Structure 1
Amino acid sequence: MATCGEVLVKILENYGVDTVFGIPGVHTVELYRGLPDTHIKHITPRHEQGAGFMADGYARVSGKPGVCLIITGPGMTNIATAMGQALADSIPMLVISSVNRTYELGMGEGRLHEMPNQRNVMSGVSVFSHTLLRADELPKVLARAFTVFNSERPGPVHIEIPIDVITSPADHIDQSMFELPEPPAPSPRSVSRAAELLTKAKRPLIALGGGAANAGPEIIALAEKLGAPVVNTVNAKGIVPYSHPLAVGGSGSWEAIRKEFTEADVVLAVGTEFGETDYDFFFLGDITIGGELIRIDIDASQLTRNVKAQVAILSDAKFAVEAINSQLLDVAADKEAGVARATALKEEVFSVRNEQYAAFFDTVRDALPEVVIAGDSTQPTYYAWVSYETEHARRYFHSASGFGTLGYGIPAAIGAKLAKPELPVVALIGDGASQFTIGELASAVEAEVPVIFLIWNNSGYGEIKRFMENGNIEQIGVNIYTPDFIGIGKAFGCETRQVNSHAELHEELIAASQRNKPTLIELPQAQFADGYA
């Protein structure tokens, strides 16, 4: 007899799942019975928050949903923070959990891991949260989840399965995939209106968010046809390579770029929510669009948030940009002027960059040209927010925007390396944030995942300390105890180094990229930067 738990992992494999993250528990052991009969790799984190961040990093780099198997009750409250980050950044994540037996739900009898209503708790950090009450419904609920990942604005989905349903007979269940719907395509009318505005535009501008990640070639073709400079958010870094003459990079929060938004006569915004952390990082006020705004988004509700669009296109980014391109047949764009605008903007952003942080990132990039960086909330990532760019999509991401969690970098980098083992992966995390999830070093060693962990050590919560200083507030809780990171790394089984110069860092990064085990490198901030980015 095949149980619901055994059939579950078979269906996941059929949907292309190759890795799951989870900590087995007394309520979830039956979800593991069928795993040896699949090709799915299981990674064991040291905390469920780590499992969620690993799945997040895996999804960001691969474009596929990260999958977690999580225990009832405390396991779910532990992973909630990671799900909140994934929801804020539209990252596909499938969280499958156990829950108490069907006849125990809502009884409040003090059962192990019991919550009054686990599904309601998780619904606030997920696209949807579902309780599976019959094994027969499993294929339909999983199909609904993968439809979200494939065809809608993605985010975390939670499916909880009562213990007695996990073990219920499921031999009769069809294990094949559902045919998933294509993402939405744009309406002809909206495409025509957008094309008309762009054809007449004298000073067009393109703004990209993470929702444009699948449309790089189409966006490049459109930008070149229009002579339109391209700016991007953190999650859109590399969609248009930074070396492209129309790529500006930077951030919508940067004063020069905000000014360009007011001067452009047509702005085409693709897959970006115009959120505060991308467009008002310096708290200057809401972004202002001076001309006509065309918005493309896969989420209908997003098209009416933050800024008002004259043309709102509900569509997958790739489909919409393709359609607009097909209608722009005779555009009299001043392409040289567009390149000149992009160059001027890029130079203006470049002119005010912090040279010390720039030198740090230049060292990383020189040593590891194909690097993937998973950042946390730490001083270098605040610099990278506006001044670090890449040549490829899905090569830089951090948790400092969106939900803004701490402890993200270490596990997210592990997930990223599992997704793309052929690329060097760096976790960039501060001394304070690293202590949230430093136990995941053990997970990396155990799984033989050769991530490079860069610990930026400024002996405390430097950014919050700055806010206290600026607000004339007594510094409480920010000058925290600094542990021996080299000793911790060694104890967990990592190769460890402390570096005090760019030359040493360059050498150690190259050496670390050639090892088959994780490397922890501690960087004292005083050796690399004076202070705040």
Structure 2
Amino acid sequence: MLQVRDAVSGGRAIVDALIANGVDTVFGLPGAQTYPLFDALALSTERIRTYGARHEQASGYMAFGYARSTGRPGVFSVVPGPGVLNAGAALITALGCCAPVLMITGGVPSTFEGRGRGHLHEIPDQLGLLRRMTKWSARIERVEDAPALVNEAFWQMLTGRPGPVALEMAWDSMAATAVVEPLGAAVIPSATEPDAAAVEAAARLLVSARRPMIMTGSGAQHAAEEVRALATLLDAPVTALRGGRGIVAEGEPLGLSSAVAHRLYPKTDVVVGIGTRLELPTMRWAGMMTYHERLPGGRKLVRIDVDPEEMVRLKADAPVLADAKAGVRALIEAIGRLSVDGPNRDVGAVHMEIAEAKAAVGAEIAKVQPEVDYLHAIRAALPDDGFFLTELCQAGFTSYFAWEARQPRTYVSEGYQGTLGYGFPTALGVKVAHPERKVVAVCGDGGFMFGVQELATAAQEGIAVVVVVFDNGAYGNVRRDQRTRFEGRFIASELCNPDFLKLAEAFRIKAYWVTSPGELAAILPTAFAAEETVLVHVAVPPDSEASPWPFIHPAP
């Protein structure tokens, strides 16, 4: 006897498809157009945990933090129109960081679509807008279409270069009911093997290289074992600016901060870029205003990247179109076939040069005060597998080169979007994904106030992170530029801040006040031991912080 399926709403069909694809966490802020979705989530609490937020942007950043720290899809839902626009910063941050994030939103009633009548939350061509902000976006027209389109969203998110996607469904369509045939999980294809001739060409370049250097990005985070093996085989140092940090720990002999890598770069003859846009040599070290189609300085470039467009944007001498894990593994095998003993170079001299550069640059970096000492205090207290959120502040910028990343994915950055205010809400999503691990968000007073309301979310949802707020009473970078480049004409850069301790207390959040790295070091063990969110307010005298920019944008 055939089983007759019950009719379900569009919201229910979406939630069932999420469950089929292994989703157990959703972030969101409900509204009228998404009531059927959130009602379905309320009926599925045994299988999906839903975390509310106080702002749509925070919902998006929590999903981003979940995805960025795990490599798995982060899912969130907001209302259409202003909700989508509020979450837009999180979507483009995910796009810049290649993070698999799925946004689900509503729309005006289907009979109003494209009419411009001014229905609630209507914006012109919302789907067209989303398609410009994401890797892929689509509209679910009928309840019956939900499983297939949710699966397509997962396929788009996770195939090739990961990225954010969005699904919208009209107000009335999401509330409508129909009998839906479940499809199971999306089938994500395995990474294809790279072209053998391309790998052979890259291997030949590296066997003959005298001073190769490996640069990693977000696309290499899942290939840490293979990257370490390649670095050992080549005796090549490994560096990254943001997304690829921690793949090789910077405290290891072959792990480099970007500042140390810059010191060694003049002798580098071959660069190996793995899952990275190669921002260091093409923008940071060669001038931000000059576009480069090839690696500047005449150096040879080997690229391993899953995105064919990357090979057009920056041309390589030996391009290998492949997922990082498969590409590096094939490259190691090819080098082994060409040279049984590995590349012919003076290993002792290479290691000595690296150690000397680390010592020399370390002495220079130590002068970036007080930021470096504050970062050292946090590093000493945070376990190796703990997560560090950078944020756009002086300590955050300094962390680009002065924070020792020790494990993959533990240095969670904002990527090239430079989205001020992303840090604290993103940290909440990271903690949700890793409840057993420590999470610290380093924020400036300006950026923290972008998402200060999420202290309520942290308290209500029981999300235990440590947020360190550096309070210098200004948008520090802007104020410095106005002082040094515009004759001290300060405008809109100075801040009148609240009493952060009283503010935290109002949210029922524990808070501490410190004025030195030593005091921060003393309080952090207590903060990390707490099973709740803790705010540490760091009072920083105005204009007292050394500029980190000579190490981020060194003179060419």
Q: TM-score, normalised by structure 1?
A: 0.94
**Residue pairs, 1:308-327, within 5 angstroms:** 308-327=315-334
Q: Secondary structure at the match of 1:214?
A: helix
Q: Partners in 1 of 2:120 and 2:188 — Cα distance?
A: 37
Aligned partner of 1:374: which letter?
A: L
Tell me how far apart the structure 2 counterparts of residues 34 and 135 of structure 1 sit (CA, whole Å). Answer: 14
Q: Which runs of 4+ in 1 moved over 6 A?
A: none
| Counterpart position of 2:552 | none
**Aligned pair partner of 1:478 in 481, 486, 493:** 493
1:359 pairs with 2:373: yes
CA apart distance, 1:21: 0.9
AA paired with 1:347?
Answer: A
2:551 is aligned to none
> Map of 1:167-246 to 2, 5 A cutoff?
167-246=175-254
**Where does 1:22-171 land on structure 2 (aligned, <5 Å)?**
22-35=28-41, 36-37=43-44, 38-171=46-179
Q: 2:355 aligns with which of 343, 356, 359?
A: 343
TM superposition shift of 1:291: 2.4
Distance 2:108 2:348 in 1: 65
Which of 288-297 and 151-160 deviates more? Answer: 288-297
The residue identity in structure 1 corresponding to 2:512 is: R
Q: Deviations over 1:287-328 (max 9, x none)?
A: 6253211111111101222x3311111110000000111122
Instruction: Find the aligned partners of 2:57 and 2:192 in 1 and give their Cα distance.
Output: 33
Paired AA for residue 122 in structure 2: E
CA distance 1:387–1:409, change in 2 (3 Å): same
Secondary structure, in 3 states, of the residue corresponding to 1:155?
coil
1:2 paired to 2:13: no
1:269 to 263, 270, 273: 273
Q: Distance in 1 between matches of 2:304 and 2:61?
A: 28
Q: 1:138 to 1:225 in 2, by over 3 A?
A: same
One-letter identity of the residue aligned with 1:121: L
Letter aligned with residue 406 of structure 1: L
- Cα distance between partner residues in 1 of 2:376 and 2:544: 14
> Secondary structure of 1:449's partner?
coil
The corresponding residue for 1:402 is 416
Residue 279 of structure 1, CA deviation: 4.3
Contact 1:261 1:288 (C-alpha < 8 Å) held by counterparts: no
Assess if the C-alpha contact under 8 Å between 2:155 and 2:186 holds in 1: no
Partner of 1:392: 407
Is the CA contact 2:271–2:300 (under 8 Å) kept in the aligned structure 1?
A: yes
**Counterpart Cα distance in 2 of 1:277 and 1:494:** 43
**What is the distance in 2 between the residues matched to 1:369 and 1:346?**
23
Unaligned runs of 5+ in 1: none
**Matched AA of 2:514:** V
- Structure 1 82/281 Cα, relative in aligned 2: closer, same or farther at 3 Å? farther
1:373 equivalent in alignment to 2:385: no
Could you say if the C-alpha distance between residues 527 and 419 of structure 1 is closer, same or farther in structure 2, counting changes exceeding 3 Å? farther
TM-score by length of 2: 0.90
What amino acid maps onto 2:332 in structure 1? N
Cα deviation for residue 529 of structure 1 reads: 5.8
> Structure 1 residues 415, 389: closer, same or farther in 2, change over 3 A?
same
Q: 1:183 Cα deviation (Å)?
A: 2.9
Listed one character per residue, the Cα deviations across residues 167-220 of structure 1 (whole Å, up to 9, x for unaligned) are: 233433214112211234311111111111112222211111111101111111
CA drift of 1:531 comes to: 4.4
**Distance (whole Å) between structure 2 residues aligned to residue 240 and residue 383 of structure 1:** 19
| Maintained 8 Å contact 1:525/1:531 | no
Structure 1: how far apart are the matches of 2:212 and 2:27?
A: 44
The answer to whether residue 483 in structure 2 is matched with residue 469 in structure 1 is: yes
Amino acid at match of 1:404: G
Aligned to 1:493: 508
Alpha-carbon distance change, 269 to 341 in structure 1, aligned in 2, over 3 angstroms: farther
Gaps in structure 2 of 5+ consecutive residues: 1-6, 549-556
Between the aligned partners of 1:107 and 1:84, the Cα distance in structure 2 is 28
2:518 match: 503
The root-mean-square deviation of aligned C-alpha atoms, in Å, is 2.1
Q: What does residue 534 of structure 2 align with?
A: 519
Greater mean alpha carbon deviation, residues 216-225 or residues 359-368: 359-368
2:261: which partner in 1? 257
- Aligned to 2:296, the other structure's residue is in SS state coil
- Checking the alignment, whether the CA contact within 8 Å between 1:72 and 1:113 is kept in structure 2 is yes
- Residue-by-residue CA offset, 1:72-117 (whole Å, 9 max, x unaligned): 1110010011111111111111001001122210111121111121
Separation in 2 of the partners of 1:173 and 1:349? 61
* Alpha-carbon distance in structure 1 between the residues aligned to 2:269 and 2:199: 18
Q: Distance in 2 between matches of 1:178 and 1:482?
A: 48
Asked if the contact 1:247–1:342 (Cα under 8 Å) also holds between the matched residues in 2, the reply is: no
| Distance (Å, rounded) in 2 between the aligned partners of 1:107 and 1:456 | 48
Residue 336 (structure 1) shift: 2.4
Whether contact under 8 Å (1:22, 1:42) holds in the other structure is yes
Instruction: Give yes or no for contact 2:375–2:402 (8 Å, CA) kept in 1.
Output: no
Q: AA paired with 2:177? A: P
Structure 1: how far apart are the matches of 2:171 and 2:458? 30
8 Å CA contact retained: 2:13, 2:147 = no
| Matching of residue 333 in structure 1 with residue 344 in structure 2 | yes
Q: Which amino acid counterpart does residue 231 of structure 2 have in structure 1? A: A
Tell me, in whole angstroms, the C-alpha distance in 2 between the residues paired with 1:226 and 1:182.
28
